[in-house]
Amino acid sequence: MRATSRDETDVLVIGAGAGGAAVSKRLSDGGIRVICLEQGDWVNPMERPHMYDSWELERVRSWDWRGNVRQAPEDYPVTGNAAPMMMSGVGGATLLYAGAWPRFKPVDFRKGTEHGVEGTIDWPISYEELEPFYTINDAELAVARRVGDPGNPPRPDGWGPATKGGSLGNLVGAGFNKLGWHWWPADNAILTHDREARLACNDCGFCLSGCTRGSIASADVTYWPRALNNGVDLRTNARVERINVRAGKATGATYIDRLSGQRHEITAKIVVMAANAIGTPRLLLMSAQAGHPDGLANSNGMVGRHLMFHSWAADDFWFDRPLEGFKGVETAVAYSQQFYNTDSSRGFVNGFSLQVGTSLGAANSALGTNTGRRAPWGKDHRDYFANHFGRHALIQVQGEDLPVATNRVTLDRDVVDSSGLPAPHVHYEVHDNDRRLVEWGRTKALEAAHAAGNVVDTATTGVRGLSEPAPGWHIMGTCRMGNTPEDSVTNKWNQTWDVPNLFITDASSLTTGAAVNPTSTLQAVAVRAAEYIKHRFTDIVSQSVTPGNADAPTM
């Protein structure tokens, strides 16, 4: 199909979210010309739900984390049996995240050696190899933390102290102490001191709909201003239709201007995919062409496979005292990783984090907080509300799910987006191992709550992800990194085995999902890949370096 215009660049980045923003900025620091294509647009902070009187309702309507609910023209429909969290726009899903910022642990990089269940493989890199890039990324974002956690490797000081745990964090932390369990205040990519144009968190407690103050380190307020200052050409409302390949090399991409409907072609020496763990396999599969009949980077049939979401259960606990859980950061004030490592005597492999979260506002509380315990209508409403609002703590079981090959992304050509391109189809079934893990984890969440104080009421999701497919807050693994062309889509530098100048730098590249939020790790991986591209740019372009045979970049 003929494009109406052509442009040329050194590196073409597809997707302006967490990975694409990090790569664009780091490459342009080195003087490399970058064009980035994003199918969404900039989001004006004043358009966020904070500005609505009905803000607690807007966050589940026009700002819902599911594109299938929002149905905005920049979104694309997702068919199948799961509802993934995605956002099209400059910043991607970081526009809707709460800034929780744990790192993977060293053990997470060697799960193939540890148990190897359901096709689990070791990462091609270690924690120690990735650690310098975690540190670079933390500095770019100004992460808040308390150093000294004895349950994790040392980390550098943050931009400011850890976000406040408040009465809620202190109460649950006391419960962990009573049981002798490890716990620590959570790292968060949320400012506790002002930085440049970004303001420190004011504890408004409404993180998952974004931050009008710029306190949360979403990519639009961290990496992108600096990338644009470096001269990166960021094109919004640009929906990529196909990655183009000739003679075994990626030559660029064809995209559709969503506003005009016109097609344009970008030629590039290197192409970097960062369209999230559903959008990236979708585009690779849509890019089937001569020499690549099953899609790009897919000669082994692994593109779209090993989809991971995390196994979850969310339990609400109401105590006999005010906790003011409507203040402070939304999803993580503290965590316990007492049960993080595999102990097969429990009846499953892998482990989980217990993540302590907050409760939001009055309407959210009346509507059932996280687990659907709604306040009754009628004469009992006022008493119920008085005994529940502000007395709530959330303890989430965040478990590592197995990278099952049949959990995957394919194309649904019977459903199309607003540009006429086929929708991704998601198939996800919870493995019995993950069911057992989360059920056992819920008993520990209950134990922690009762150790913390007098629990007067409880509610649960019914173990989200077990009675139904997982919610897909964290989408990972569909183009995983690996050690050989037989077990993965990319090598240790995020370079696809099949097309050596095509890289993948979003959460689809994560080999395993760990039992923590993935954003800090996917961005560290993206920074590492960007430094590699800068270091070996000429060799990659000339194909004198084949995937898997290159030296590390000098930092």
Per-domain residue ranges for the chain? 6-542
Residue 332: per-residue pLDDT: 86
85 pLDDT band, cuts 50/70/90, is: confident
Q: Which of 387, 245, 265, 233 is nearest to 322 (CA)?
A: 387
Confidence at residue 1, expressed as pLDDT on a 0 to 100 scale: 42
Name the helix (H) or strand (E) containing 414: strand 408-416
Q: What's the whole-number average pLDDT of the chain?
A: 92
Give the pLDDT band (50/70/90) at residue 319: very high
Q: What does the pLDDT average to over 236-252?
A: 97
Instruction: Give the per-residue pLDDT at 46.
Output: 83
pLDDT of 52 strictly over 80 = no
Tell me the pLDDT band of 465, cut-offs 50, 70 and 90. very low
Amino acid at 555: M
pLDDT at 469 over 70: no
Higher pLDDT, 18 or 388: 18
Across the range 191-220, mean pLDDT stands at 91
> Distance (Å, rounded) from C-alpha 11 to C-alpha 489?
20
**Separation of alpha carbons 72 and 237, rounded Å:** 12
Q: Rounded CA gap, 373 and 364, in Å?
A: 11
pTM of the predicted structure, to 2 decimals: 0.95
- Rounded CA separation 412/425 (Å): 6
> Average pLDDT for residues 17-29, to the nearest whole number?
98
- Specify the 3-state DSSP secondary structure of 266: strand
pLDDT in tens, 478-491: 999 999 999 999 99
What is the mean predicted confidence (pLDDT) over 341-366?
91
pLDDT score for 143: 97
Instruction: Reduce the secondary structure of 316-355 to three states and give it as a string.
Output: EEEECCCCCCCCCCCCCCEEECCCCCCCHHHCCCCCEEEE
| Listed range (60-74, 84-98, 185-199, 246-260) with the worst mean pLDDT | 60-74
6-542 CATH, one of 1.10.3720.10, 3.40.50.150, 3.40.190.10, 3.50.50.60: 3.50.50.60
pLDDT band at 51 (very low <50, low <70, confident <90, very high): confident
